[in-house]
Amino acid sequence: MYMTELLNKFIDKIKNKEIDLYNEFGLQFELALYLRSLEDLKDYKIELERPINHFEINKSTKIPKKEIDICIYNQSSFKIAIEIKFSTNGQVPVQLFEFCKDICFLEQLVSEKFEKGYALVIVKSDNFYKSKTNTEGLYSIFRGQNKKPLNGVIECPTGVNKGQQITISNAYNIVWKELIGDYKYYLIEVKKPFGPKQLIRH
């Protein structure tokens, strides 16, 4: 199954104005409907916000989330997890940290029970990807032409979770692509971690 290809076809539907962008849950719902309509996935369950304990993954403080945005699985061992973020403006550093947490979460899932993970992020404000006065820390991963890979220990710089840390085992390059109007997106396939399992620290 070529999930990256299927997700890119969904993105094409957005580009062709077959699907409207209005909020994050709407995007999740539209993607789930699209996946359920595919003949290739007719023998798979496609569910929203499925708790991780359904897959016998313990709810540990080491795991950044407790529910999966979209999961695809069948009666055998095949499982795919998809995390989605849709951000228009505001709380940019907090949102960037949330993007990183999704990668950490997906790495944890594929190190446990899942075969593949995907992170789809859609943004509208150029504060997420344009080089501005602040290009250090989290911004150096998401902004400008010479971005650093997303890897290693990432710390939340502000907000209620200020100081919280996560660890990304593999290295991921954030490549922003044109979507529609002022929207940009990136899609990342998350692979099994090469290093030790990720930790989340408070």
pLDDT value, residue 61: 55
Residue 179's pLDDT is what?
98
Backbone Cα Rg of the chain? 16
Q: What is the pLDDT of residue 9?
A: 97
> For position 69, what pLDDT does the model report?
98
Q: How far is CA 82 from the centre of its chain?
A: 7
What DSSP line would sit under 39-83, residue for residue? GGGTTSEEEEEEEGGGGT----TTSS-SEEEEEEE-SSS-EEEEE
DSSP 135: -
Euclidean distance between CA atoms 150 and 140, whole angstroms: 9
pLDDT at 199: 39
pLDDT tens sequence for the chain (202 residues) = 589 999 999 999 999 999 999 999 999 999 999 999 999 999 999 999 999 999 988 766 577 889 999 999 998 778 999 999 999 877 899 999 999 999 999 999 999 889 999 999 999 999 999 877 767 889 999 998 888 999 999 999 888 888 889 999 999 999 999 999 999 999 999 977 654 444 333 3
